[in-house]
Amino acid sequence: MDRPLRVAALASGRGSNLAALIAARLPVEFVLVGSDKAKAGALTVAAEAGIPTVHVSPRDFADRVSFDRALFGKVAEAKPDLLVLAGYMRIIDASVVADWEGRAINIHPSLLPKYRGLHTHRQCLDAGDTEHGASVHFVTAELDGGPVIAQARIPVMPGDTEDALAERLLVEEHRLLPAVVKAIASGRLGWSNGPTFDNQSLSSPLSLRTLL
């Protein structure tokens, strides 16, 4: 590619993963940040970085698919090469996701396929796991079920609470997501009927160490 990778992002919350992406000074061009929440911190993070923003409210639509088509239509207008779901907290209609096959990634706070959905830190502690982590995966219609690209791991410490575990893991999330986007921007990570790394099919998730 003879130009920077064009990246759009969707987020529902404070935007810490988005801020980490911006701070990493990757060889990309951020073309849009969108949200389903008018007061999402991510929109402020984007605006302060000079990135165009858009808010689309689910309340303005009769059903989920109509909302998804409207929001993702706005994203498509920005012509991104890659869509990053950075704390976007809504399930996306399968027909909408299909249009982004191989071009959308999501970061999730668990070692997928463990603990899809919400409350991953609580589930990890309740299960008595000795290890926790974060995963970046390609987005498919299956909730947190797309092919996993890379993972970062941390030990579960004696006396860990949900908040303590979440805080320690967030540090690794802020390293993992930029590393994956950088690998995509450089052409090392791609999609050809599934994820590829260095032009070979990716059969198991990469470690964060491999990407750094």
Distance CA 187, CA 202 (A): 14
Residue 127 lies in a domain: no
- 107 Cβ contact partners less than 8 Å away, ≥ 6 residues apart: 17, 84, 85, 86, 87, 134, 135, 136, 173, 176, 177
Kindly state the percentage of the chain with pLDDT values over 90: 98
- Computed over every residue of the chain, the mean pLDDT equals 97
Residue 159 lies in a domain: no
Identify the pLDDT of residue 86. 96
The pTM (predicted TM-score) of the whole model is 0.96
Q: How many domains does the chain have?
A: 1
Identify the pLDDT of residue 54. 98
Residue 168 lies in a domain: no
Q: What is the domain range of residue 148?
A: 5-118+132-153+174-211
Query: At 128, phi and psi to the nearest 5?
Result: 75, 25
Residue 161 lies in a domain: no
- Among the listed residues 55, 108, 121, 174, the single catalytic one is 108
Identify the pLDDT of residue 148. 98
Residue 65 lies in a domain: yes
Residue 2: pLDDT over 90: no
Distance CA 116, CA 108 (A): 8
Is 108 known to be catalytic? Answer: yes
Residue 164 lies in a domain: no
Spatial contact of 208 and 182, defined as CB atoms under 8 Å apart = no
Residue 55 lies in a domain: yes
pLDDT in tens, 51-108: 999 999 999 999 999 999 999 999 999 999 999 999 999 999 999 999 999 999 999 9
Q: Residue 31 — very low, low, confident or very high, per pLDDT cuts 50/70/90?
A: very high
pLDDT in tens, 130-162: 999 999 999 999 999 999 999 999 999 999 999
Domain at 68, CATH number: 3.40.50.170
